[in-house]
Amino acid sequence: MRFFYLITGLLLWQMSTAQQNTPALSDEFVLVIHGGAGTILKKNMTPEKEKAYNDALEMALKIGYDTLKKGGTALDAVEMAVRYMEDCPLFNAGKGAVFTNEGKNELDAAIMNGKTLAAGSIAGVTTIKNPISTARAVMEKSNHVMLIGKGAEKFAAENHQTIVDPSYFFTEQRWEALQDAKREDSLKQTQKTPDHLALKQPENRDYKYGTVGAVALDRYGNLAAATSTGGMTNKKFGRVGDAPIIGAGTYANNKTCAISCTGWGEYFIRLTMAKTISDMMEFGNWKLTDATNEMVMKRLPALGGDGGLIALDKDGNITLPFCTEGMYRGFVRQDGKTTVKIYKE
C-alpha cells in the first residue's frame, strides 16, 4: 500500500510538472491582411464589386481567425489567409495574377517566422497554384531562403505542392488589363512620356500592381508575415518586385514587428521598407505607427513611389498606412470582430 501512495504521488507530481512546462496560451491574438494598394476610388466602384471584395476580405480574416483561436501558429494563420486570397480571382496573386508583357503569369511570394528569423521565398514561377505554401516549404524543407524560376518549380513538385497548367491563371479581367496596358504603353511612346513616369499608375487602374499579404500574432506570442503577388501588369524581363525580397516587402521579427507591403515594388526595395521599420524600432526606439508613417507617408513619396503596408508589433499594436487612394485591408482580434476597409478614411 505504501508503494501505491508513492507511485500515485510520483504520477501526480509528474503531471503537475508537465502542466507547468506547457505555457498557458495567451488569450490575445491578432490577424491583419491586405489585398493590395492602388488607385481605388469609390466613384469608380460598383456596389457588387465592392461587396465581392469585402466578402473575400472577411472570409480571409475568418480563416485566419479560426486558425489562431484554436491555437494554430501565426505562420499557419498568415499562410491560410494568403492562400485564400491567392485562390480568389479578385486579387493580384495566385488565380487572379496579372499578365506579363509576354502574356504569362509570373508569381512571387515570401513568408517569414518572427520567432526564428527563418524565411522562405520564391520568384518568377508559372505553375505553382499556391506560391505562399511553396515559400513556406522552402523555409521549412530546404537549406535555402530564395528559389527562382524553373528551379523553384522543380522544388515545389518534389515537395508535394499543387502544380497547375499555366492556363489555370488565366482570367478575362487580367487579360483585358494587359491589352489596356499595352495600348497605353504604345500611346505613351508616341507621346514621348518621360521614362520615369511610364510606370505611374493611371486613375482607377489597380492593374499595375497589387499584392496580398497577412501578418499575425499568435497565442504563443509569435509573429509571422506573408506576401504573395502576380507582380506588375505588362512587366518585362523577369522583373521581380519587393514581395519576395525578405526585408523589403516581407519581414517578421518577434523583437519588433511583422510587416507585409504592397505598392510600387521598386521603391520598396530601394528603401528596404519592412526591415527599416523594424530597425527604427529596434535601434531608434521608434513606435510602430511613427516608424510606418515616416516610411510610407514621407520617405516613400519623397523618393517618387507609392503604396502601403500592414504592420503588427509584438504587443499587438497594428497600423495600416498607405499613400495611394485606397488599400483593400482588414483585421481581427481575439474577440472575433472583423473590420474591413477599402478607401481612405
Residues of the shown chain interacting with a copy of itself in the complex, contacts defined by CB under 8 A: 117-119, 123-124, 142-152, 154-155, 195-196, 198-199, 235-241, 245-248, 251, 265-266, 269-272, 275-276, 279-280, 282-284, 286, 303
CA angle 321, 121, 116 (to 5 degrees): 80
The residue among 34 and 275 lying less far from a copy of itself, judged by its C-beta, is 275
Query: CA-CA distance, 137 to 139, in Å (whole number)?
Result: 5
Q: Is 22 among the catalytic positions? A: no
Minimum gap (Å) between residue 313 Cβ and a copy of itself? 16
SS3 letters for 28-94? CCEEEEEEEEECCCHHHCCHHHHHHHHHHHHHHHHHHHHHHHCCCCHHHHHHHHHHHHHHCCCCCCH
Query: CA-CA distance, 57 to 242, in Å (whole number)?
Result: 22
The residue among 124 and 321 lying less far from a copy of itself, judged by its C-beta, is 124
CA pseudo-torsion sign 19, 29, 144, 161: positive
Minimum gap (Å) between residue 264 Cβ and a copy of itself? 10
The residue among 205 and 239 lying less far from a copy of itself, judged by its C-beta, is 239
Minimum gap (Å) between residue 13 Cβ and a copy of itself? 35
Minimum gap (Å) between residue 154 Cβ and a copy of itself? 6
Residue 345, classed as helix, strand or coil, is coil
User: What pairs with residue 330 in β-bridges?
Assistant: 33, 340
Separation in Å, CA 114 to CA 18, 207, 278, 299: 26, 31, 11, 25
Catalytic residue among 39, 73, 100, 211: 211
Minimum gap (Å) between residue 79 Cβ and a copy of itself? 18
The residue among 4 and 237 lying less far from a copy of itself, judged by its C-beta, is 237
The residue among 293 and 339 lying less far from a copy of itself, judged by its C-beta, is 293
Residue 320 half-sphere exposure, CB side, CA atoms within 13 Å?
Answer: 24
Query: Could you give the residue numbers annotated as active site?
Result: 211
